Structure 1
Amino acid sequence: MNPLQDRTAVVTGGAQGIGEAVVDVLLAAGAAVAVLDRDETALDRATARHAAHTDRMLPLAVDITDEAGVVAATAAVAERFGPPTLLVNNAGINAYFDPATMTTEEWDRVFAVDLKGAWLVAKQLIPAMRERGTGAIVNVASLHARLTSAGYFPYAAAKSGLVGLTRSLALELAPHGVRVNAVSPGWTRTALVRDYFAAQPDPAAAEGQVVDVHPMRRLCEPHDIAEVVAFLLGPGARGITGADIPVDGGLGARFAG
């Protein structure tokens, strides 16, 4: 079955990590997919991996914090596939700042990527969704939106804002048949997480310690997140909007004491 046949999706940060897995799943579901990413090398790799789907995949190098670039990219998608009615705001950056020494420029950069960029892309796609009376947006937030740790400032604030943006957009767009939801991954086995473990004095022990606090005794894989994203975009989720779905192996349900 191809539940997203004849639909066009835009995936930001789609050339690696969770975004790459989302692109995999959406292509398998029959969608045409525009992959937006600022990393041109990663885009080249993604294009090579999906050589069999060049008729349904459009790689675009764009920085989602650049409004002019976003306008040009989304126009290119509409020209190639028609106006997109599916959006996955996945692009984001981590943040590890001290609140007293972080500069205003660093603060602005974190929020530009993790929050403002999601709005800039949605802003370009919403008019066509409203006109067609259909559409779905999924924002990739984080478990940090409601449970965080020291040393991640101000990541939790940015991701909390993304969940708030999700709720606001859901209410604004519901009368037009457009649904907006968020997914909040926990520890996910991406290249960033693998690099984090590799940088520890005892990588195996560090990974084991993290795995042990998960009720499911495993980390999520990128495709675990991608499958939930695809579900929220598809017809099976027609009754869901304004929700934030944790995909964290149960970590967010665990009492820390």
Structure 2
Amino acid sequence: MIDLTGRAVLVTGAARGIGAAIAEAAAHAGARVGLLDIDADRLRHTAHRIGPAAAWAVCDITHEDQIADAVAALREELGPATGLVNNAGRNAYADPLTMTTDQWDEVFGVDLKSAWLMARAVLPDMLTAGHGSIVNIASMHATLTCPGMFPYAAAKSGLVGLTRSLALETGPHGVRVNAVSPGYIETDLLTEYFDREPPQVRQAATDKHILGRLGSPHDVATVVTFLLSDAAAFVTAADWAVDGGVSARFT
């Protein structure tokens, strides 16, 4: 069994989708959970659904001042964080020739830089405690990708690289850092992608999965809570594929 009793876990992008599922799974495992998102209404609803174990803070995780305020407020309610899940992210569908530097910075601000900013905000408490776990939600696009999603693969590859670097820096102090790379998971982001494509694209994607189905947010959340827990005490600097085997067809 996964036991997070006594832990305080912060989850970004927690208003819906994978982030909400992770927050719910962590609370079910006994953790106090801090939910961060820019969508106040959905964030409040998700926190209410989880119940007394949840606290929430509206936060744009690309702004370090907002991160500092949110982390401090959640620390007051939940205690020092010993778990962090950098789940917030966005897709990208840019043309490499016409994409502006502002658009580039926006993608990397959400998908990569924010993970470092959040880690920097919580690591002092983890280092003081001598233990902690950070899980970065990357993507199968970190190792394989498709046309029309520039520069998403670059940002997610960077997130896996950040995972390894942080693991090397913090491991001697008892902090583990891992990545999880989901495949096709039934979220609003995936729906957004399929809505941009012909109808047969969804079926083609499903057919590529060894398990014959798309994933659910719960599938990802179960792996994340394992990595947050002491059951994964000897796991760090790893990138876990949660993709129904789809990447095995293209590796």
Q: Shorter-chain TM-score category?
A: over 0.9
Instruction: Name the residue aligned to 1:112.
Output: 109
Shift of residue 200, structure 1, vs aligned partner = 5.1
**Are residue 235 (structure 1) and residue 235 (structure 2) matched?**
no
Say if 2:2 and 2:225, in contact at 8 Å, map to a contact too: no
Instruction: Name the residue aligned to 1:21.
Output: 21
Aligned AA for 1:222? Answer: P
SS of residue in 1 equivalent to 2:104: helix
Shift of residue 206, structure 1, vs aligned partner = 3.5
Identity of matched residues, %: 53
> CA 1:152–1:195 in structure 2 vs 1: closer, same or farther (change >3 Å)?
closer
The equivalent position to 2:130 in structure 1, one of 130, 133, 137, is 133
- Deviations 1:90-125 (Å, cap 9, x if unpaired)? 000100000000000000000011011011010011
> CA 1:162–1:42 in structure 2 vs 1: closer, same or farther (change >3 Å)?
same
**Are residue 41 (structure 1) and residue 41 (structure 2) matched?**
yes
Q: Give unmatched runs, 5+ long, in structure 1.
A: none
Instruction: Name the residue aligned to 1:250.
Output: 245
Higher alpha-carbon deviation: 188-197 or 62-71 = 188-197
Shift of residue 45, structure 1, vs aligned partner = 2.0
Aligned AA for 1:5? Answer: T
Q: Give unmatched runs, 5+ long, in structure 2.
A: none
What CA distance in whole angstroms lies between the structure 2 residues aligned with 1:196 and 1:112? 20
Instruction: Name the residue aligned to 2:161.
Output: 164
- Deviations 1:21-46 (Å, cap 9, x if unpaired)? 00110010010000000011211221
Aligned AA for 1:11? Answer: V
Aligned AA for 1:110? Answer: V
**Are residue 150 (structure 1) and residue 143 (structure 2) matched?**
no
Instruction: Name the residue aligned to 1:12.
Output: 12
The equivalent position to 1:218 in structure 2, one of 191, 213, 219, is 213
What CA distance in whole angstroms lies between the structure 1 residues aligned with 2:88 and 2:2? 25
What CA distance in whole angstroms lies between the structure 1 residues aligned with 2:127 and 2:24? 27
- Deviations 1:153-208 (Å, cap 9, x if unpaired)? 00000000000000000000011110000000011011232354456554xx4322
> CA 1:156–1:12 in structure 2 vs 1: closer, same or farther (change >3 Å)?
same
The two structures, once aligned, show a CA RMSD in angstroms of 1.4
What CA distance in whole angstroms lies between the structure 1 residues aligned with 2:2 and 2:185? 26
What CA distance in whole angstroms lies between the structure 1 residues aligned with 2:95 and 2:173? 42
SS of residue in 2 equivalent to 1:138: strand
SS of residue in 2 equivalent to 1:60: strand
Shift of residue 141, structure 1, vs aligned partner = 0.2
**TM norm structure 1:** 0.94
Runs of 4+ deviating beyond 6 Å: none
What CA distance in whole angstroms lies between the structure 1 residues aligned with 2:55 and 2:115? 19
- Deviations 1:125-166 (Å, cap 9, x if unpaired)? 111111110000000000000101111100000000000000
Say if 2:81 and 2:122, in contact at 8 Å, map to a contact too: yes
What CA distance in whole angstroms lies between the structure 1 residues aligned with 2:112 and 2:188? 22
Shift of residue 209, structure 1, vs aligned partner = 1.5
What CA distance in whole angstroms lies between the structure 1 residues aligned with 2:102 and 2:250? 36
Say if 2:35 and 2:47, in contact at 8 Å, map to a contact too: no
